[in-house]
């Protein structure tokens, strides 16, 4: 039987501390001025000193 080709991006299996991933997620801010599209499973980097959304609750990220 042939293998099925499925493009899924990164799929988490464990946290960095070794605990199994449980499906929880966090909300981050991606500035509208950044035209780069970020999809589910894409690796991102926190913007150091890049601020956050207008409420100050969600840290900014960019595509890695």
Rounded to 5 degrees, what are φ and ψ at 14?
Answer: -145, 155
Top-confidence residue, 10 or 50: 10
Domains of the chain, by residue range, sit at: 28-64
Top-confidence residue, 2 or 45: 45
In the predicted structure, residue 1 carries a pLDDT above the cut 70: no
Q: What is the pLDDT of residue 50?
A: 64
Q: Which long-range contacts (CB under 8 A, 24 or more apart) does 36-40 make?
A: 36/62, 36/63, 38/63, 39/9, 40/9
Q: What is the pLDDT of residues 28-62, one digit of tens each?
A: 888 888 888 888 778 888 887 766 777 778 888 88
Q: What is the pLDDT of residue 63?
A: 85
């926190």: which residue's tokens? 46
Q: What is the pLDDT of residue 8?
A: 74
């Amino acid at each position: 039987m042939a293998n099925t080709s499925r493009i899924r991006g990164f799929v988490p299996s464990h946290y960095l501390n070794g605990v199994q991933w449980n499906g929880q997620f966090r909300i981050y801010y991606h500035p509208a001025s950044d035209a780069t599209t970020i999809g589910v499973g894409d690796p991102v980097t926190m913007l150091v000193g890049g601020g956050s959304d207008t409420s100050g609750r969600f840290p900014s990220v960019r595509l890695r």
